[in-house]
Structure 1
Amino acid sequence: MNRTTLSLIVGTAALAAVTGFATLTEPAAPTTDTAKAAAVLPVERTNLLCPAPSASDLAETTYTSFTPVTKGTGSEGTAELRSAAAESAAAGSADGDKKTTAEPVLTPKAPGTPVTGDTSGGDTPALVGTAEGKFAPGWTVQESTQVSAGTGRGLLGVTCTAPDTEFWFPGVSTAADRTDYVHLTNPDDSAAVADIELYGKDGAVTTTVGEGLTIPAHSSEPILLSTLTDEKQDDLTVHVNVRSGRVGAAVQALDDKLGGDWLAASTEPAGSLVVPGVPKDATAVRLVAFAPGDADADLKVQLASASGLITPAGHETLHVKGGMTTAVDLGDVTRGEAGSLVLTPTDQSVPVVAAVRVVRGKGDKQESAFIPATSPVGTRASVVDNTVKGSTLSLTAPQGTAKVKVTASAGSGGGTAASKTYTIRSGTTQDVELPVPTGLKGTYALTVEPLTDTPVHAARTLTASVEGLPGFTIQTLPDDRGTVAVPEADEDLTVLQK
């Protein structure tokens, strides 16, 4: 069950408490005014799951939490991020039991201001976060890790995810120079059971122990992909299907020479996809796509550049066979300009998932990161852990001109919020000049709010020098689902007479 479903349950329960009885009669005729427009209300509870950041003793990890200020939330609420084991201990404590649990990694003080927590070493566990009341709508947590040496060295970042029941990860690998893990985190009081399916260039890959994996309550399991199959393939798609319960899922992809990063799940399979925010200085871009069904997909490949939609020479279309993973090297496709990949059907629309692997730097100072296809920003989205010189926000409007408001929050150590409004021309991508909080201390959050109905896609690139390496990580900004539409209803006492 995803966050939207949970929010609807909460909202419906609250509505029932107010109205007394829900109407169970036949739908009213169009002329009646019994049914009213849906009310848009803030969600009342949000769960987020952060995977274990690294097995390296050299890892330095920062967690950053932020909730944007949302109207209608009231004055009460709490939020905290703590280890899954601590959550298990707390859940198992009886009333009056004084058994202590680990202290939270961080506890936000107020919406509108980020808060950070740090940890180091390779034994940091997966974390479970819960926000309620005023902290729930749009709650965002970023996990950023610097690893100075070894496989996967560089800057790794991931937005902590809501638990769900299905995930697609195009772009994973079992090649000899890659060490890829699927991290599954279970936040609930009962065990979850999941299947991990792999799809390569020839279709489904035979796995040895990929079916019926049990993730115990309040725990996290990192599954090394190379232990599931003997096949060595450069480009694979992972499908995580949860049979019972729910989990958070993310892939940690580590390379012997090209660093590493987290690969977040692609948006749900769709006929058209957008992969936003390919850095302008990317030296290599590899597109990986997968068609989950039996039908083949033929996609038109375009780059939404700073000047408009263009077609990469030699890569005008991409043919994706049903049930198979297809990959293509686009090289330095952005050619020094901000860009986003736009994939649309050439004829019949066939659902696909997609992601790109981006490489920056040259020689032995190369680093890599991943960008999954993502849904539009929607109403609002936030991204955290930003710095004045180390953050780039890319906005793209592939279907029409859009206006967007971007707000820089107060800093984690002080400062005053600031906002700017931008116009993104149809078919373009812009790396916008960011607002900066006045008197900034620490890091800050960016909140993106489209002011028009035109779909806007966004991604943030975070850069940092890690022992002389050009470390970077990219996070997309889908809608934060901070509000939910709850239909208004009137009492209908006639239901008691039926």
Structure 2
Amino acid sequence: MSHPRDPYDRSHEQQADDVYGQEPWMLDPYADPYVGQMAPEGYTPEQLYGQEPYVPGPETGQMLAQTGDPPPYESDYQTGEFTGEFQPELQGEFQPEYEAWPTADEMRVGEPEPEAEPQRGKGGRMAAAAAAAAAARPRLRRVRRQRGRRLDNTALVALGLIGAMAVALLLNRPHQWEQPTLAAESSAPKAATVVCPGKPKAGADEVSVTNAADGSGEVTLSGPGAGKGAPATVGSGKVTTTAAKPGSVVIKADKEVAPGLVAGRSTTKPLAATACLAPQAEAWFPGVGAGATHNSILELTNPNSGAATVDISLYDEKGVVAVPEDLRGVAIPGNTTRTFDLLHVIPRKGELSLKTTVVRGQAGVMVRDRAVALETGATKEDYFPGQSTPAETNLLVGYPNSSASRTLTVVNPGDAQVSAELRLLTPKNVLTPEGAPEISVPPNGQAQVDLTKLLDKDSADDAYGIEIVASGPVTTAMRSVDGGDVAITTATETVSEATAVVVPAGAGVGKKRVVIAGPVAKTGSSGTVQVVPVTAKGKALKAKSVEVGPGQGAEIEVPAEAALIQLVPEGVEVNAAVVMSGDGDAVVPFHPLRSEVRTAGVAPGLPLPLEP
């Protein structure tokens, strides 16, 4: 029997439904069962902790009897003595399996080793386990509190930084940041290269070179049309003319002659002329031909020793045209020229528009446009310089006074349809003529307009050019044909500083006139333009000055013996060209003179300001 003061005897207490769940041997071994309780009379806490694990006695059977469950075996509930036969099958069903109480080492499995083993006092294994658990709990709580304080401090610092940045942005608005002044550096070019296309099919051919600045020295002529490539001496204001073979000619100048280098190629019978241009990364040729009566020859010249590659695109009224294999990724070996006769490469009726894009190296690009008379087979050619960049406003300045047919071609490189308006340039104003056609250009396509009647002398006697204003960037060109002769008028470049062109002079050249168009925008300024004709030997002829402004232009007659024409704008931007007549017609536009190279300044600073 148990001791009358046995602390584990709870038979006098009200029992719960789950009797076995209340047994001390099923409780947490780390928990203190006497926390908050008074020790029984006559027992000290040390004596209680020192007792052995509880083994159910007769009191347990007595508690089972109070629940009303049938006993698993017959016995005396008061004494616990067995009075009946033993039934092992019932014993396994009702009698719990008791496990041995875990030792202190087993209870410490999986826990970190303490710095020092707590001294085990009197009380046995339960006391040691309770002491170890009590010693560990405060340390864990202290660690959690320290981590919480560290995270709180970090969050406060981050919030403080965000607030400071917000205040700084409010006080200093981005569009008010002061940027450092980056002054671009200008210097004279140390070298210059221009490419002259091959000669037309007929006519006496020559290449002319000069320096429109103050430089003088030697230039090198190379290429199929230069023969042995002997150097030529060039002086400021003097035109050096050399005979050339049918092929293209590459002219290279060093630092003495590079600033202000000007060159051209021409024939006099029949008349054809063009400026020799620097290599272009991109060029547009609206209205080329690939048919029996209108044919064009594309000429690609590589002025360097390294290889070059050019991509070619074609357009018509319906959109992009499939490019033949011969025109895909055209490879040009160093110091060579490749020509493509479109009649043989992509024969078709009607005009095309052509675009060249240099994807590797450098290349000079030019088209020779040809008119063929089917009855006689007579052929006449003229040079077709390309337009470098599409623009919303294009000025076609200068064209022959009389022509049997005039065809305007407008190319739209964009993906949306573009509408364009045609206006006439006159000396006094820019006007929209009566009966002007409505021009609608499909995306990635071209549109052609017949301007023969509109530009007839009776209806546009004083007009000297055309202005095309489009709703999107376009490229334009006009082809004039008269008696089998061809003249091409392309969109001109804006000139704001002194420049010059070389033109043919001789018996085959008749009248020459310089056509000048003032600024397009109404906000443009007015100014004067001086035209200075110079002979091949450098003799300056009588100069003339005219006043031009927005919507106002002028035409100036030039003596036939002029081989060099200098154009000097003063405080105004202009577009200009030279129109020549004789054994045919030719139009040579002015280009900006390459007299300096600008290098952008670089300096550390704040990001670019945003718009407010």
Q: By the TM > 0.5 criterion, same fold?
A: yes
1:488 to partner: Cα distance: 6.2
Given the alignment of the two structures, is residue 313 of structure 1 paired with residue 434 of structure 2, yes or no?
Answer: yes
2:452 to 331, 346, 361: 331
2:260 to 122, 138, 141: 138
Counterpart position of 1:299: 420
- In 2, the alpha carbon distance for the partners of 1:256 and 1:198 equals 22
Given the alignment of the two structures, is residue 473 of structure 1 paired with residue 473 of structure 2, yes or no?
Answer: no
Counterpart position of 2:199: 53
Tell me if structure 2 keeps the 8 A contact 1:413–1:443: no
- In 2, the alpha carbon distance for the partners of 1:205 and 1:490 equals 47
Tell me if structure 2 keeps the 8 A contact 1:80–1:108: no
Counterpart position of 2:233: 108
Question: Could you say what secondary structure the match of 1:227 adopts?
Answer: helix
Given the alignment of the two structures, is residue 232 of structure 1 paired with residue 349 of structure 2, yes or no?
Answer: yes
Counterpart position of 2:331: 214
Tell me if structure 2 keeps the 8 A contact 1:114–1:412: yes
Counterpart position of 1:384: 502
Question: Could you say what secondary structure the match of 1:272 adopts?
Answer: strand
Compared with structure 1, are the counterparts of its residues 42 and 406 closer, same or farther at alpha carbon in structure 2 (3 Å cutoff)?
farther
Q: Considering fraction of residues, name the structure with more helix.
A: 2
Given the alignment of the two structures, is residue 79 of structure 1 paired with residue 219 of structure 2, yes or no?
Answer: yes
Question: Could you say what secondary structure the match of 1:478 adopts?
Answer: coil
- CA-to-aligned-CA distance 1:279-324 (integer Å, 9 cap, x gap): 3334432110101121111111101123321223322431111111
Counterpart position of 1:223: 340
Equivalent residues in 2 for 1:337-352, closer than 5 Å: 337-345=462-470, 349-352=471-474
1:373 to partner: Cα distance: 0.9
Q: Which AA in structure 2 matches 1:304?
A: L
Q: Which AA in structure 1 matches 2:234?
A: K
1:485 to 595, 598, 602: 598
Equivalent residues in 2 for 1:240-259, closer than 5 Å: 240-257=356-373, 259=380
Compared with structure 1, are the counterparts of its residues 409 and 427 closer, same or farther at alpha carbon in structure 2 (3 Å cutoff)?
closer
Compared with structure 1, are the counterparts of its residues 178 and 279 closer, same or farther at alpha carbon in structure 2 (3 Å cutoff)?
closer
- In 1, the alpha carbon distance for the partners of 2:484 and 2:179 equals 65
Given the alignment of the two structures, is residue 159 of structure 1 paired with residue 275 of structure 2, yes or no?
Answer: yes
- CA-to-aligned-CA distance 1:377-411 (integer Å, 9 cap, x gap): 23232111254953111001133563343343542
Counterpart position of 2:27: none
- CA-to-aligned-CA distance 1:98-121 (integer Å, 9 cap, x gap): xxx8143x62331221111124xx
Q: Considering fraction of residues, name the structure with more strand.
A: 1
Counterpart position of 2:479: 357
Given the alignment of the two structures, is residue 408 of structure 1 paired with residue 532 of structure 2, yes or no?
Answer: yes
Runs (5+) with no aligned partner, structure 2: 1-176, 374-378, 605-612
Per mean C-alpha deviation after superposition, the further-off stretch among 157-166 and 404-413 is 404-413
- CA-to-aligned-CA distance 1:134-154 (integer Å, 9 cap, x gap): 31123111110245xxxxxx3
* Larger relative contact order, structure 1 or 2 (CA cutoff 8 Å, min sep 6): 1
Q: Which AA in structure 2 matches 1:137?
A: P
Q: Which AA in structure 1 matches 2:338?
A: E
- CA-to-aligned-CA distance 1:434-492 (integer Å, 9 cap, x gap): 4x6xxx9x642112122124x31001112223xxxxx111011121232233356899x
Tell me if structure 1 keeps the 8 A contact 2:368–2:383: yes
Compared with structure 1, are the counterparts of its residues 204 and 134 closer, same or farther at alpha carbon in structure 2 (3 Å cutoff)?
same
- In 2, the alpha carbon distance for the partners of 1:273 and 1:380 equals 21
Counterpart position of 1:426: 550
Question: Could you say what secondary structure the match of 1:427 adopts?
Answer: coil
Compared with structure 1, are the counterparts of its residues 488 and 207 closer, same or farther at alpha carbon in structure 2 (3 Å cutoff)?
closer
- In 1, the alpha carbon distance for the partners of 2:400 and 2:596 equals 31
Compared with structure 1, are the counterparts of its residues 259 and 337 closer, same or farther at alpha carbon in structure 2 (3 Å cutoff)?
farther
Name the % identity: 23
Tell me if structure 2 keeps the 8 A contact 1:165–1:245: no
- CA-to-aligned-CA distance 1:410-445 (integer Å, 9 cap, x gap): 4223524653321124323421144x6xxx9x6421
Question: Could you say what secondary structure the match of 2:233 adopts?
Answer: coil
Given the alignment of the two structures, is residue 63 of structure 1 paired with residue 179 of structure 2, yes or no?
Answer: no
Counterpart position of 2:32: none
Counterpart position of 1:13: none
- In 2, the alpha carbon distance for the partners of 1:322 and 1:447 equals 40
Tell me if structure 1 keeps the 8 A contact 2:529–2:547: no
- In 2, the alpha carbon distance for the partners of 1:247 and 1:490 equals 34
Question: Greater Rg, structure 1 or structure 2?
Answer: 2
Counterpart position of 2:607: none
Counterpart position of 1:91: none
Tell me if structure 1 keeps the 8 A contact 2:406–2:480: yes
